[in-house]
Each structure stands twice: as C-alpha cells, then as structure tokens.
Amino acid sequence: MPAYAQAIIIVMYSTISVLAVGGNLIVVYIVVAYQRMRTVTNYFIVNLACSDILMAVMCIPFTFIANLLMHYWPFGAIMCPIVSYLQAVVVFLSAFTLVAISLDRYRAIMFPLKPRMTTNQVAMVIAVIWMLSLAVPLPIAIMSRIEEQTDRFNASVVRYICKEKWPQLQHRYIYSLCLMILQYFLPLFVLMFTYSSIAVVIWVKKMPGEAENNRDQRMAASKRKMVKMMITVVIIYALCWLPLHTVTIVGDVHESVWHFRHIQVLWSGAHWLAMSNCCYNPIVYCWMNSKFRQGFKYSLRCQKLLSRRKMTH
C-alpha cells in the first residue's frame, strides 16, 4: 500500500477513535453528573456510550492495523481470540442496547398509565444485555487462533493471521450467519416495528392519556423529540453497518469475491463506515436534545477553564 494511502487510513481511523472516546465520555459524564439527566432512557444511552468507547478502543486500532496496514496479525497468539471475541461482544452490546431503548420507549408511549421502570429494573436489564453479549460470541473466542501464512511476495517470510478455525467450513458459515441475524437483522426488525408503531401513535393518532393542557402538551412534545433522536440513532446504525454485512454475506457465499481487484478498497470503506458509527451518537444527542447540548457546552467550557489554569500555573 502506498505511503499516502496508509497516511489517509491512519488519519481516518484515528479521527473516529478520538471523536468516539471523547464524545461518549462526555455523554457518560453528563448523565452521571446531573440529577435531572438520570432517566431510564439516559441510563441505556450511557450503556450505549460505553459500548461505543469499547468499539473505539478494542475494534478500531487492532483491526485497521492488522488488516489494512500490516496485512498480518502482529499482536501475538494470546491477543487473537481476546480481540476477536471482544469485537463481537461490543457489536452485540450496541444492538441489544438499542433494542432495549426502543422497547422502553414503546412501553412508555403505548401504555402510558403503566409505571415506568425503576433504577433497579434498568440495572437488571443492562446486566442481562451484558450477559447475552458476552455469551453469544463465546465460540469466536474458542475457535480464533493464529495461523502461519507464507508471504506471497517472499516465500522465506512467514506471517501470522488471526482467524476462526472451524472443523468444517460449513459450521463457520452457519455460525457467522446466525451472528449476523442476531446482531443486525433481528434487532433491526424489532427496531423498525417498535419505532413505526410509536410513530403512528405520536404523529398520526393522539397519544393515549394525552390531555389538552399545556403541561401534557409539553410532555408530548418532549416524547416526540426523544423518539426522533432515537430513530435518527437507529437509522445511522443501520446505514453504517449495512455495507459491511452485505460484503461479508456475499464473501461467505461466493469466496471468489475476495479475489476481486478492488475488493480491499470496498471492504476498507465498508469497515470504516461501520466503525465510524461509534462517534455519531454524541453528535446526534447534542444536535437533537437541548439538555445534552447544554451539558456538552458546559463540559467544553470547564475543559477550557482547566486548560487556562494549567497554562497560567
């Protein structure tokens, strides 16, 4: 790969990593620091932010260094199953958290007279999300290992690649397909159902239990804004991950695709788009939620004051 192409890749991946870690840390701080931000939906948003931070730390650096810059696995035998497993865990965390948010919104809007979830119930749901996210990808940790591969340009040079070694290729294909359904297509179906149902109720019909006084109208407007924000998050998630899943499915069905001339460029673009999803949510929150926007402004103002104090001392 030419030096300028490597430089572009480093800048692109480094940018989304910095934005993801910085933006999502601010999101976590805003919810934890301010009492009025400690709502059920925002607790789930914190969990989503944590998964995005893990994505930026565990998925982006290892993947783009090994697959795009080095073209082999330079991190050793122990890190191979750990990184592969954690990458799958993080994707499940994001998907399951988005589903939990949509189900919570669905319950709150479709059944407004039912009591809201308590803090303990939210903690239990988040714990279940983590347990499922840790359990489902376990076969990846078991099957992932490094494999020697001769350099195609120099037969005397041996490289290592990190890959899943299944007893039969068909087993790997079936498991990969199941993972894709569980972490993308099934959550997306649930998200489409819940948010389309919510949209019909709050924009087409009158919300159940909604009165005509100013207080209820303000509450209804607040619910609509929150739903708009979460629908935007879901749309971005679906669009970011669709190209990579499409390329992966086509490659699993027709392995000859991986020998196409420009497949690496196509895969790199799809992979970068999928990884970039972890940096967009804080931007959406800041854009579409006035409370988060105020929190971001205050956090940045405090950061500037701290920087000035350090400079003066």
- What is the Cα–Cα distance from 214 to 125, expressed in whole angstroms? 34
Domain assignment present for 42: yes
Note the pLDDT of residue 92: 94
3-state secondary structure 256-273: HHHHCCCHHHHHHHHHHH
Domain assignment present for 116: yes
pLDDT string in tens for the chain (313-residue length):
677 777 888 898 999 999 999 999 999 999 988 888 888 889 999 999 999 999 999 888 888 888 877 888 888 889 999 999 999 999 999 999 999 999 998 988 888 788 888 889 999 999 999 999 999 999 999 999 888 877 665 556 678 888 888 888 788 888 888 888 999 999 999 999 999 988 888 877 665 555 555 666 666 677 788 888 889 999 999 999 999 888 888 877 777 777 777 777 888 889 899 999 999 999 998 888 888 888 887 776 665 555 555 555 5
Note the pLDDT of residue 153: 59
Q: 306: Cβ–Cβ under 8 A, 6 or more apart, which residues?
A: none
Residue 48 structural domain: 3-298
Domain assignment present for 309: no
For residue 220, which of 241, 198, 239, 236 has the smallest C-alpha distance?
Answer: 198
For residue 50, which of 87, 25, 83, 32 has the smallest C-alpha distance?
Answer: 25
What is the three-class DSSP state of 160? strand
Domain assignment present for 312: no
Domain assignment present for 313: no
Domain assignment present for 305: no
Note the pLDDT of residue 250: 80
What is the three-class DSSP state of 4? helix
Domain assignment present for 310: no
Which CATH number do you get for residue 77? 1.20.1070.10
3-state secondary structure 274-298: HHHHHHCHHHHHHHHCHHHHHHHHH
- CB half-sphere exposure, 279, CA atoms < 13 A: 19
Note the pLDDT of residue 70: 80
* DSSP state at residue 34: -
Contact 160, 73 (CB under 8 A): yes
Domain count, the chain: 1
